[in-house]
A and B are shown apart, each in its own frame.
Chain A
Amino acid sequence: MVAFFRGKLAFAFKVLFLAGISALLVLLLISALGQKQYAIGIFLILVVIGLNFTYLTKVSIPLKFFYPGLIFLLGFVVAPIVFTLTMSTYNYKTGNYIGKTEAITQIQKLAIEPDASGSTFDIIVGKYNGTESAILASDTVKKQYFISTYDKRIDLNVTDIKVNEYQVAREAYNFKALADAELAGADKLLSKSRFFYTSEFFIALEGFDVGALYRQKLNFLAIQDAFQNIATGAIYKDNGKGNYANVDAPGEILEPGWRAPVWFENYSKLFLDPKVREPLIRVFIWTVVFAVSSVLTSFAFGLLLALALNKPIRGRRIYRSILILPYAMPSVMSILIWGGMFNTEFGAINQLLGTDIAWFQSVTFARVAVIVVNLWLGFPYFYLVTSGALQAIPSELNEAAAIDGASPRQIFSKITLPLLLRILSPLLIASFAFNFNNFNLIYLLTGGGPKSTLDGDIAGATDILISYTYQIAFGSFTQDLGLASAISVVIFLLVASISLYGIRKSKVLESFV
């Protein structure tokens, strides 16, 4: 076995293995670069170089152990964190979702207007001179017939064509209609095609039989990086915030925009824009209330149980194995089950209480329900850890106090509880941090509701920061990844400082356990 690590065979295996992984990565990075995903491409290049460097040289032994884990951490944890930071300085949202070049193409495509008289033509799609895409167009009223390709128009006399009973041209010299099968295949291309009419107007297809006259409303001036309205002459320039805006009326912007750096605008919005700030403060307050009351209720019930079952009473094992069940259940399932139990008409809770409360429609009841469910999910954990901590308190302390004449109540409040709190405070803090971001509970139980969507306000009464952020990023109205990222960064700073404080405290823990 030891020889395996030294022999030539082992070396051959290693080289083969490295070559295989490198080949796969190189294939990936080539297609990444081919699709202009440069950031990912460069990351993959570095991964390949690092991989071979690490395992073919003896520069660093520890790196050989760290490399696979390091790559996953960098790729799927660190990169998203860095990307979140970057996005939080961009106006990355609906309407500014694409790159600039793409946005320019889109604006050009969208900036067309129909001819004032609304002229349409009956058309046949086909080829001119055998190869050129073209249409054979007929205006049956004006008796005007022509063939139009992408760049020219060939007017036809009535004698050059064959018409059907509606006076629509069916055949013309040098023009060959496309068969139906070919038409279906060219559908996508045709819908984007512009056929020449005059230097100002072009014909766009509306289905396979009708074409309408359009003209370009805006012209892109590549040198000035600006759009010009052909009719009015108005100039739209890059406003530095991801949109082309009218030079004379900055509020008038062209859609779509692109994602552009706005630096701290997303952050300043959190504090200065009342439309963002007010729901955010409301949600923040509820988040803290929710997290604190979840921790306190779970801890209180856990503590009570731990005290009650701290003596070898009859049936303690049975109690214990049942009490742990809520914690052992997959929480997604439990939350969904509770969701059914809180149903207004048929739910077991209303039936048990003999009420008909619309739990998730009332702000107060929805909040109570959320905390009750979280208590159910959380108390077994605190029961378990408090039981453990109770064992860790030396019994001599209690005995000595009892001899000195302290009542059981005094022993509890003066000795047991302070010691417990000292041992468990890191866990209480960790639990607070966890509940602060307890997305699943809110999302699966109430969906953040109840909410009034009257004024486009998407923050519900039970929404906590993280579920609110999720709605900002992936909601159905508008998606603002920039703002969502900024909130994420703020949440991280809050939670990380709380957790760091907890870790400092956990040094106390080590001396006990």
Chain B
Amino acid sequence: MNWLRENLWRHVVGIFMVLFAIFPLYLVVISSINPSGSLQVTSFIPREFSWKNYQMLFNDPTIPYLTWMKNSLVISVSVALLSVVISASSAFAFSRLKFRGKKSGIQLLLLIQMFPAILALSAVYVIMERVAVFAPHFGLGTQPGLLLVYLGGAMGVNIWLLKGFVDSIPAELDEAAKIDGASAMQTYWLIFVPLAAPVLAVVSLLSFIGTFNEFILARLFLVDMGSRTIAVGLQGFIGGQYSQNWGPFAAGSLIASVPIVIIFLSLQKYIISGLTAGSVKG
């Protein structure tokens, strides 16, 4: 009786919220194996099972699903690697070097980072439109152009996140290196990078998730069917035509989500500490 009074409400709340959380996901799973491929759920308990929707995704030439997936992976992996390579040295300098204007530099970075990329969307668009005039491979409508814009956008957040993590790594080792006569560059490459490798990996994976999930810039930049990312591709595919394309869409969004969910769950600890540091996942 006592147990009931103490714990029953906890389970009631827990089960209710679990149902709420899982309902859309459950629905996608059963839709993806439903051979009729329709949006209409005839029964919430699947009676038939088929891989038809998945096969359609990979075999139907009108849905370049694999190309979208490849595009997303190429762009996200490039951003993940390059942005960390570029921002790590800045974070190191902010965290470990002494120089004039450090404090105002950090404040400026914070202020810049607060300007959401989406507010400058039209400016980015016009600038890249002009870049396309003289360098067609880096301008509007190209993946390298999008990559450059992503790298720029990732810089503020990444430097900020990395600085936070780096501050928590004890500085004794690089101070010792300094006493032994190592230059700042040597300290960075030989002491700091190996030491911070796990942190760099985490931030890099976070950039990966963020880029994979980015929609509006990709939508604005990538017009060709064959150059789209998975988010833009699937949106265009389902766009308003829920009733016709639901089955393959469900299958496609499931496949695209699984790796992200796995990365996310394995990074839970870091993501939450990163989030409490003041940045919110987009």
Identify the A interface with B (CB < 8 A). 1-2, 5, 28, 31-32, 34-35, 37, 40, 60-62, 64-66, 68-70, 72-73, 75-81, 83-84, 87, 301, 304-305, 308-309, 311, 313, 315, 319, 321-334, 336-341, 343, 345-348, 351, 376, 379-381, 384-385, 388, 426-427, 430-431, 434, 437, 439-440, 443-444, 466, 469-470, 473-474, 481, 484-485, 488-489, 491-492, 495-496, 499-500, 502-503, 506, 509, 513
Contact = CB atoms under 8 A, between A and B. Distances in A.
Contacts of B14: 305, 308-309, 313, 315, 319
A308 B134 contact: no
A322 B15 CA distance: 10
B261 A388 contact: no
A330 B235 contact: no
Q: Which of A79, A332, A346: most chain B CB closer than 10 A?
A: A332
B41 interface: yes
A66 B91 CA distance: 8
Contact of A81 (B10, B120, B148): B120
B66 interface: no
B265 A321 contact: yes
Contact of A35 (B13, B133, B184): B133
Given A40-B131, A496-B111, A69 B86 contact: yes
Q: Which of A60, A338, A499: most chain B CB closer than 10 A?
A: A499
Interface residue range, chain B: 35 or more
A80 B18 contact: no
B151 interface: yes
Contacts of A77: 112, 115, 117, 120, 152-153, 155-156
A332 B119 contact: no
A311 B13 CA distance: 13
Given A337-B27, A496-B114, A69 B89 contact: yes
A484 to B, nearest CB: 5
A492 B115 contact: yes
B24 A83 contact: no
Can you list the 7 inter-chain pairs with the closest CB atoms, starting with the nearest? A76-B152, A65-B93, A80-B120, A328-B264, A69-B90, A346-B40, A80-B123
B186 A5 contact: yes
Q: Which of A28, A76, A348, A492: most chain B CB closer than 10 A?
A: A76
Given A65-B92, A430-B280, 19 more contacts: A2-B186, A73-B112, A73-B156, A76-B149, A313-B11, A325-B21, A325-B261, A331-B213, A333-B257, A336-B235, A336-B238, A336-B249, A340-B249, A341-B24, A346-B243, A347-B242, A437-B118, A440-B282, A495-B114
Interface in B195-234: 209, 212-213, 215-216, 220, 231, 234
B7 interface: yes
Given A68-B86, A304-B13, A488 B264 contact: no
Contacts of B242: 339-340, 343, 346-347
